[in-house]
Structure 1
Amino acid sequence: MNSTTNSFLKSNNAHSGGLHCTKDALTGMFGWFLQVLLAGLAFTCLIAKRFCEPQKERRSWLIWFYDTSKQGMGAMAIHLANVWLAGQYTGDPCTWYLINFLLDSSLGLLIIFIGIRLSQYLARTKGWEAINFGEYGKPPCANAWMAQCCLYVGLMVIVKVSITLFMQLDFWENVKDFILSPIPNPKVELAFVMLIIPFFVNMLMFWVTDNFLMYKDPAKRRRNSSEESLLQRAKIKYRSLRKKKWIDSESDILLSADDELLDNETVPITRAVIT
């Protein structure tokens, strides 16, 4: 009876956060410290991305701010929603936060891509230049930036509603039970959930999303494609010339061999005539 009671209490403690982070772990002092540190590291990656751009095509700091601030607002809205939702589920909030975060970074990224491409299509076909992501006019207009920010945050709302509905499926309870079970220390688990895993995932997601959001000159894309086609044609021409040269050299070798054979056959015939 005692062993049964102890096993029940251990199981209950495990599901209530005894071995993992508690209900207020995400909103505690250590949790907020990790969140602020993560935000700083994530946007440092976007600064590094700007310096990785070719110098002739590098965005000005104003355009860079317009592009990246949309991600900042959207990421903050998603993050706060995940922190709040993690406390609404039963069990360890860290695991629920991590599941929401990973879904936002995978399925959510697909929804963002579709939404951005749809808005760019509408901007071209309907003439709604304000929602053409990455285009702010000349000189850059703050109204266009604000319209795109609101549209991007609206996409984040769609992402969060979709992921929340997807999280209602029953099998996530089984996923939650084993996803962080090897980590018994609550603070280590919180560091993995709030800093280590999100840092690498956010670095990739911010980099990819920034490529979606930044302006790409259609003339430059056509020029690059024409240059690529010219390069391809040059390569094909070079290969054909090499092949022709190789065939000619083979022909010369065969002709020289035939000449030698004819010369060798002519010598005995000449001797026979003389004799």
Structure 2
Amino acid sequence: MNSTTTETNSDTGGLHCSKDALTNMFGWFLQVLLASLAFTCLIAKRFCEPRGERRSWLIWFYDTSKQGMGAMAIHLANVWLAGQYKGDPCTWYLINFLLDSSLGLLIIFIGIRLSQYLARTKGWDNINFGEYGKPPSANAWMTQCCLYVCLMIIVKVSITLFMQLDFWDNVKAFILSPIPNQNVEVAFVMLIIPFFINMLMFWVTDNFLMYKDPAKRRRLSSSSDGLLRKLHVKYRSLARKRRRDSESDVLLSADDELLDSETVPIARTVHA
């Protein structure tokens, strides 16, 4: 037992995760599995869209392929950078990934909104994310893909500069420290944690990227307003009917009391 532990520590340099743990056969298997699961989530998202607003498969591919290329570029950069830092590469990969999914998502949102603003004000239709013309133009899609990858490069450069701060050494000292097994640690940083975060991130980013027709939103808003008005009119008509029924019940009860009061003296007269 001791000799095995010593041999493992010498192979990994005293680290839980060796330098090539992210790029060995097990690591690549987890990466392919994660990519497949993330792609499946985007397919499920399309079927969750309302039937009247559901994108065609071509538009869906144009929207999601940008995410796929950007995510692949970021992932490969994180795998390479994790081996360049001093210390456990799994912890460095996880820190990079969490920053990409939080601070990086904010940068992506700002970049997409800025490009859409420039498209409206400058007339640069090809950089208006989610809009490809009618019929859909492959040139617009390619332009948006290149622009999105540039946004991901900006994200990665910003995160890398942010990672130069000294306090990250203290963070990586305790992150994942309770997990002594290398394969379990790789599974956590390459599959388990990224799956849930990627599912949320891909869902949110796809909402940023997909085109939302203003006319359709106005029609949906007007139809919802019309439905509310119909419900309000129906409620008022039911309320009026209820009031009329209650008034009729009061009149009928008054008539019954009057008839009862007249019937009693007549009955007494007959007996007399």
Do both share a fold (TM > 0.5)? yes
Which one is further off, 215-224 or 174-183?
Answer: 174-183
| 2:134 paired with 1:149 | no
Q: Does 1:93 align with 2:96?
A: no
Aligned pair 1:164/2:142, yes or no?
no
Q: How many percent of aligned residue pairs carry the same amino acid?
A: 76
Question: Could you tell me which residue of structure 1 aligns to residue 131 of structure 2?
Answer: 135
Alignment partner of 1:123 is 2:119: yes
* 1:130 CA displacement: 0.7
- How many Å apart are 1:156 and its aligned residue? 1.3
Aligned length: 262
Unaligned runs of 5+ in 1: 1-9
Q: Which moved more, 1:43-52 or 1:261-270?
A: 261-270
Structure 2 CA distance for aligned equivalents of residues 269 and 161 of structure 1:
103
Q: CA RMSD in A?
A: 2.9
Note if contact 1:17-1:92 (Cα within 8 Å) is conserved in structure 2. no
1:43/1:266 Cα in 2 relative to 1: closer, same or farther (>3 Å)? same
1:70 CA displacement = 0.9
Deviations 1:40-86 (A, max 9, x none): 33223323434444566544443333222211111012112222332
Task: Tell me which amino acid in the other structure corresponds to 1:210.
Answer: D
> Which residue number corresponds to residue 34 of structure 1?
30
2:60 aligned residue (58, 64, 88) = 64
* Distance verdict in 2 for CA 1:104–1:269, change over 3 Å: farther
Q: TM-score, normalised by structure 1?
A: 0.81
1:239 alignment counterpart: 235
Instruction: State yes or no: 1:260 paired with 2:256.
Output: yes
Give me the TM-score of the superposition, normalised by structure 2: 0.82
Aligned counterparts of 1:236 and 1:81: Cα–Cα separation in 2 = 57
Unaligned runs of 5+ in 2: 1-5
The answer to which of 213-222 and 73-82 deviates more is 213-222
Following superposition, the deviation at residue 193 of structure 1 comes to 0.8
The residue number in structure 2 matching 1:206 is 202
Please tell me the residue identity of whatever aligns with 2:124: W
Are the counterparts in 1 of residues 15 and 88 from structure 2 also a CA contact under 8 Å?
A: no
Aligned runs of 1:2-21 on 2, under 5 Å?
18=14, 20-21=16-17
Go from structure 1 to structure 2 and tell me whether the alpha carbon gap of 1:18 and 1:198 turns closer, same or farther (over 3 Å shift).
Answer: same
Q: Distance in 1 between matches of 2:240 and 2:171?
A: 63
